[in-house]
């Protein structure tokens, strides 16, 4: 594929777009508008191009992207499902777009009602007593949850210094615990990839504030001993924190509260579908049991007769965790997604996402090692250890997939699986797409066996092939040193 030059390299002296007359004078005689002191001494080194040059440049760049709308995107743990366009449209309604958080309660009754209803639905789905909608992402929800747990223990005068996390946990779990001042203790997984109960018993003591758990865990496995785990943690006065990133697998099938969890966050952008490639936007509401409601961030949305109000009066609130109320458009999308699917639809999300992952698992398990002998839930983790011995790493496989028009899966996570390939197809993919992916993965396994040397040159069909990733991360060139451009 031909590479696209930088826009600065395409610049030609005196070439420019067409401007309406008023704007022309704005550019040619800025001194009529700004005082001398505010004017630049030197011209900005901006590239000079025609309107068509600019349109072609950015349109081409946009077409080099991978997206859920253009490619299969099985990025494990991230739940890159199709984002229904109706949710986008609804979140962009004038009535949502043009409200401002400084408006009075009476003037924003509509959005308060939506938040009130969404909270009720999240409670229904998870079995938790109340939710705070403020956190802007899963990691932010974890921090909020850990602050709640910390305050709860402090008020009870419990001496708590430690937080337990399984060795399969997402990096944000130990990070959130550590930001709240806890020592992080890692619990080893057993040979099946589940929490090792003996190890948990050994590490659990009176100083453990909580166990943070993802269920299904990051190997895509349901923690079958969850009720035993709950008893072990609760008996020593610890709480159970649920990382809801994998909730897609359990929607409408079981309630998180019934598994004994005290605090949970949900990743609305994952489970309830907001486009979130490239790091955002998100929402990570935090739900708690009745006993912990008094610690939630304020304000909470409540109903007084037929009026929705913002309640700031919580006895032991940890305070605010963001400005204003929440990442509103993400809430609107989640709400519309949930209403569109309804109770039965949400259940089908869970069933089909699990079916799709197991279909891939079964079809590929004789070509790639599976991380666990157990059937998976909504995602399947393979290990490319066999291919690595042939000279082809998980990274090489990911690069080859780009050539085949497939967004690479998550690789090298969870950390406990060597050469991990973490594949989450989601419920929104049809059988033909899954079959195409399977066919390509089999082709790759065969090529790894016969011609491993090929893989050092993949991807071939992209403008840029292999990057020096260390250099790119450590010494990024963020500033284009342009030659002097036309004045």
Question: C-beta of 20: minimal distance to ligand PLP in Å?
Answer: 43
Of the pair 214, 372, the CB lying nearest ligand PLP is at 214
Of the pair 77, 83, the CB lying nearest ligand PLP is at 77
Of the pair 278, 484, the CB lying nearest ligand PLP is at 278
Distance CA 448, CA 387 (A): 6
Question: C-beta of 251: minimal distance to ligand PLP in Å?
Answer: 16
Of the pair 194, 293, the CB lying nearest ligand PLP is at 194
The residue with its CB nearest to ligand PLP is: 138
Question: C-beta of 241: minimal distance to ligand PLP in Å?
Answer: 11
H helix runs in 284-393, sequence order:
328-364, 385-389
* C-beta separation of 68 from 373 below 8 A: no
Q: Phi/psi zone of residue 305: left (φ > 0), alpha (ψ -120 to 50 degrees), beta? A: left
32: which residues sit within 8 A by CB, 6+ positions away? Answer: 25
Give how far Cα 31 sits from Cα of 19, 139, 241, Å: 18, 48, 60
Distance CA 294, CA 58 (A): 50
Give how far Cα 332 sits from Cα of 92, 268, 327, 328, Å: 9, 10, 9, 6
| CA Rg value for the chain | 26
Question: C-beta of 114: minimal distance to ligand PLP in Å?
Answer: 21
Of the pair 260, 284, the CB lying nearest ligand PLP is at 284
* C-beta separation of 285 from 90 below 8 A: no
Summarize as ranges the residues that interact with ligand PLP (CB under 6 A): 77, 137-139, 170, 172, 214, 218, 243, 245, 267, 282, 284
Distance CA 8, CA 15 (A): 12
Residue 41 burial by CB count (10 A; 0-12/13-18/19+): exposed, middle or buried? exposed
Question: C-beta of 472: minimal distance to ligand PLP in Å?
Answer: 22
Question: C-beta of 289: minimal distance to ligand PLP in Å?
Answer: 21
Question: C-beta of 139: minimal distance to ligand PLP in Å?
Answer: 3
Question: C-beta of 354: minimal distance to ligand PLP in Å?
Answer: 17
Of the pair 284, 459, the CB lying nearest ligand PLP is at 284
Of the pair 377, 445, the CB lying nearest ligand PLP is at 377
Distance CA 107, CA 104 (A): 5
* C-beta separation of 257 from 128 below 8 A: yes
Of the pair 245, 331, the CB lying nearest ligand PLP is at 245
Place of tokens 């159970």: 240
């Amino acid at each position: 594929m031909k590479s696209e030059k930088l826009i600065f390299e395409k610049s030609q002296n005196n070439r420019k777009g067409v401007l309406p007359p008023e704007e022309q004078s704005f550019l040619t005689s800025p001194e009529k508008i700004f005082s001398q002191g505010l004017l630049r001494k030197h011209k900005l080194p901006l590239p000079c191009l025609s309107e068509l040059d600019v349109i072609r440049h950015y349109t081409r760049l946009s077409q080099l992207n991978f997206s859920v709308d253009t490619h299969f995107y099985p990025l494990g743990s991230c739940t890159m499902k199709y984002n229904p366009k109706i949710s986008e449209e609804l979140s962009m309604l004038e009535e949502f777009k043009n409200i401002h958080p400084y408006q009075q309660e009476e003037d924003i009754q509509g959005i308060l009602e939506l938040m009130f209803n969404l909270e009720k639905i999240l409670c229904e789905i998870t079995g938790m007593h109340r939710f705070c909608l403020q956190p802007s992402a899963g990691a932010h929800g974890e921090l909020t949850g850990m602050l709640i747990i910390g305050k709860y223990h402090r008020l009870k005068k419990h001496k708590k210094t430690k937080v337990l996390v399984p060795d399969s946990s997402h990096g944000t779990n130990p990070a959130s615990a550590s930001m709240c001042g806890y020592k992080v203790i890692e619990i080893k997984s057993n040979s099946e990839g589940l929490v090792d109960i003996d190890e948990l018993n050994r590490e659990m003591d009176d100083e453990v504030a909580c166990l943070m758990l993802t269920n299904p865990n990051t190997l895509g496995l349901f923690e079958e001993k969850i009720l035993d785990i709950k008893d072990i943690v609760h008996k020593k006065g610890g709480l159970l924190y649920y990382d809801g990133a994998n909730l897609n697998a359990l929607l409408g099938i079981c309630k998180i509260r019934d598994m004994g969890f005290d605090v949970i966050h949900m990743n609305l952008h994952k489970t309830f579908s907001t486009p979130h490639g490239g790091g955002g936007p998100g929402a990570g509401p935090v739900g708690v049991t009745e006993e912990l409601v008094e610690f939630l961030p304020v304000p909470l949305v409540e109903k007084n007769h037929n009026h929705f109000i913002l309640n700031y009066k919580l006895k032991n609130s940890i305070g605010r965790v963001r400005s204003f109320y929440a990442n509103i458009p993400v809430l609107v999308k989640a709400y519309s997604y949930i209403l569109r699917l309804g109770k039965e639809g949400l259940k089908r999300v869970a069933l089909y996402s699990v079916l799709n992952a197991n279909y891939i698992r079964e079809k590929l398990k004789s070509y790639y090692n599976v991380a666990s002998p157990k059937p998976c839930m909504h995602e399947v983790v393979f290990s490319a250890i066999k291919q690595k011995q042939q000279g082809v790493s998980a990274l090489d496989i990911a690069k080859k997939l780009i050539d085949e028009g497939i967004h690479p899966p998550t690789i090298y996570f969870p950390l406990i699986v060597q050469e991990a390939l973490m594949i989450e197809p989601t419920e929104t993919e049809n059988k033909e797409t899954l079959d195409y992916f399977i066919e390509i993965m089999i082709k790759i396994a065969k090529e790894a066996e016969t011609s491993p040397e090929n893989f050092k040159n993949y991807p071939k069909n992209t403008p840029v092939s292999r990057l020096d990733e260390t250099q790119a991360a450590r010494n990024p060139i963020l500033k284009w040193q342009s030659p002097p451009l036309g004045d």
